[in-house]
A = this chain, B = another copy of it.
Amino acid sequence: MVDGTVSSDVAIGREMYGWARELFPVRRSLTGEGVRDTLRYLARIVPGLTMHEVPSGTSAFDWTVPDEWVLRDAFIADGEGNRIVDVNRNILHVVGYSKSVDAVMTRAELEPHLHCIPDMPDAIPYITKYYELGWGFCLAQRQRDALGEGPFHVVIDSVHSKGSLSYADIVLPGRETREIMLASYVCHPGMANNELSGPVVLAALGRWLSARQDRRFTYRLLFGPETIGAIVYLSKHLEQLRSSVDAGFVLTCVGDQRAWSLLQSPRADTLADRVAKHVLVARGVDFKTYDFLERGSDERQYCSPHVDLPVCSVMRSKYGTYPEYHTSLDDLSLVTAAGLAESFSVYREMIEVLEANETYIATQPCEPQLGRRGLYPGTGTRSSSFSVSTLADLLAFADGSRDLIALAERIGRSAIDCAKTAADLVAAGLLDSVPSSTGTGHSQRKEPI
């Protein structure tokens, strides 16, 4: 367990794992009832989380909200009517957004519509064809090898119809209007690390943030379908987000315990990147840093030109890097209560550091007389004249040029520890926080188009 994960986190980990177990069987897709069921479930955890519907056909930048896809049934049956591939056994068996088919066909006719992973004989791949009209089945190589020659009864009973794209958000106001954005996505069916871990950790953070007495930042939480959900959301809120978001994070692949990963923003030095890196380093976590060239989730939209939000992503095993990724093997045996709890703890610490990330300045020239204030040993001994404490170092470097993260890094200590010492020094009248400038997320923000 990562240093800093406290015992109450164990309970939260178990709770999150329970939510994932209940949400696992829900048939999610880009749109539709599965998404709405998932959002309704999450709204019971995060009070005030509000669902929004955007009608099919609505334009969003270069995109159009697609029709809803309702899947009633899908199977491949043998000559005797036995369902040898059946979507009721695993939702991944049908290619997402497949059109209807009802035909008897030979093995040769069926073949072009089958998808397997030859070197993972037990894994059903996850495949979607959102923007192309076709159909297909996904199955384990072992199943495919045992299919026989047919003829097969091949049925996909689906409907594409006008409906809406669903997402849910909540804005938790703080003392400042500057925002921290936290987003995850709810369109992946039948998989756990990618992606139920993100929504459940985000829900736990949302519950914790709503309960928090005093928030410095305003927090914006978003759950929607990946890509089109982010694009639709940005098309509605771009100017607000561009002018308010100081840091944002995409929560995805935060459920296993095998690795820590940091997918950086394109600039790699935004406030989001800085706090993520600082907390991972300060906790002594062994993590891999990925350039934005290895992006793969909604940061693709949040960090695109003209959007340019300070967004990064702290993950465990990153999408695309672990063998079970986008297959039926990415299930609830991969994700653990402890893994979820550690991720929750890291994100919570990142938020705590952001809350305390003031720019500090000493209140007077020269060192204060700490001895007189009981903050320093009064005896000049052999060692005290050259060993200097966190407290003295904070005062020595608090010249109003650095935020807490930079100050902590300058003096070689963790921001979360410095936050406490800084609070003591503020209470003693020795330190002050400089009024924060707006828009600290980017140093070189471009003007909106």
Contact = CB atoms under 8 A, between A and B. Distances in A.
A47 B343 CA distance: 69
Given A61-B366, A227-B367, A305-B395, 14 more contacts: A62-B367, A125-B382, A131-B378, A230-B366, A235-B365, A266-B396, A266-B399, A293-B388, A293-B412, A301-B365, A303-B396, A305-B361, A306-B399, A365-B449
Interface residues of A, number: 72
Interface in A46-78: 60-63
A231 interface: yes
Contacts of A326: 382, 385
A380 B320 contact: no
B365 A296 contact: no
A325 B365 CA distance: 29
Contacts of A295: 388, 396
A109 to B, nearest CB: 20
Nearest to A127: B381
Given A266-B397, A371-B131, A386-B294, A307 B365 contact: yes
> Across chains A and B, which 6 residue pairs bring their CB atoms closest together, nearest first?
A320-B386, A296-B386, A132-B378, A305-B399, A306-B365, A305-B362
B382 A126 contact: yes
A443 interface: no
A428 to B, nearest CB: 11
A319 B371 CA distance: 22
Contact of A293 (B368, B398, B411): B411
A126 B319 CA distance: 61
A264 interface: no
A367 B301 contact: yes
A379 interface: yes
A400 interface: yes
